[in-house]
Amino acid sequence: MSPIERKFTLQVPSSTENLALIREFVTTVGRQSQLEEDEISNLELAVDEACANVIEHAYGHDITKEVVVRAKFDDESLQISVIDEGRGFDPNKTPQDSVEQLIHDRKSGGLGIRLIKKLMDEVSYEIVPGQKNELHMTKKIRK
Amino acid sequence: MANPFAIQTSVEDGLSIVALEGFVDAHTAPQFEDAIQKAVDAGSVRIVVNCEKLNYISSAGLGVFMSFIEEVRDRGGDIKICGLTPKVKHTFEILGFQDIFEMLDDQQTALQRFKAD
């Protein structure tokens, strides 16, 4: 028998004010999926980073737009997808300067994608700029 | 929605102390940035950021440390971080901040480090 998959969706206006709500949603789903608390903290941060990128960069703080966070899990893994219809960009093509270089250049951005990749087990993208961009992030559930 | 954030600034022995409380994310980081900017504008480049009551920080908050550190050091100062809880410290360490910033156990130790510099 295949494992039961559970699905949850949160849809919020594109405002940084809603990052707290997104983190609570992710934490609640993470606990239901039986992830360890430190893994839930990592998940919370990764999804916060992904949504902040959408709110600030894909939508340029346009509160009339919406950010969709979709979660699904079974016995083996939890996948969170962050979906937007804004300006898509290929995270693999963003410069990955060292933190020291960013400091030297007096830049404070460019950390979000780096954190997401370090915090999650798998990260993938489906990008159709202006139509639909999806960032999929997966955590394996260790028993 | 629970997103408590508070920031307190003070001056002790000529050092600026910025105490963070709650959650620093893309929504609240601008307040943190303003506090550091005000200290720097006032000529205070020896800054302690007290994180004893900080529950959470995302890259927006880490970016504030990054964007000021070089200017502050160029002017003979530093930003020292103290009182990190293990969870928050983990976030700093993922990006290697421990190699760039001095992290101390508590505010008193951070103040003493400045005096020793």
ipTM above 0.90, yes or no: yes
* Confidence at residue A2, expressed as pLDDT on a 0 to 100 scale: 60
B94–A115 C-beta distance less than 8 A: yes
Residue of B nearest to A51 (CA): B26
The angle that helices B59-74 and B29-41 make with each other, rounded to 10 degrees, is 10
CATH code reported for the domain at A6-140 = 3.30.565.10
A107–B66 C-beta distance less than 8 A: yes
Choose from A39, A111, A117 for mutation: most chain B CBs within 10 A. Answer: A111
Evaluate the CA torsion angle A136, A141, B3, B5 in order and state its sign.
Answer: negative
Query: Distance of CA B14 to CAs A36, A61, B19, B68, Å?
Result: 44, 39, 16, 19
In the block, tokens 């709110």 appear at A55
Interval A76-131: pLDDT, tens: 999 999 999 998 776 666 667 788 887 877 766 678 988 999 999 999 999 887 78
Query: Distance of CA B96 to CAs A9, A19, A31, B10, Å?
Result: 34, 25, 28, 28
* Confidence at residue A1, expressed as pLDDT on a 0 to 100 scale: 53
The pLDDT mean for chain A works out to 90
Domains of chain B (ranges plus CATH)?
Answer: 5-116 (3.30.750.24)
A17–B3 C-beta distance less than 8 A: yes
Interval B31-57: pLDDT, tens: 999 999 999 999 999 999 999 999 999
A108–B67 C-beta distance less than 8 A: yes
What's the whole-model pTM score? Answer: 0.93
Domain ranges of chain A: 6-140
Q: A18: which 2 tokens?
A: 């809603």
Which among A126, A26, A24, A136 has a CA at the least distance from the CA of A85?
A126
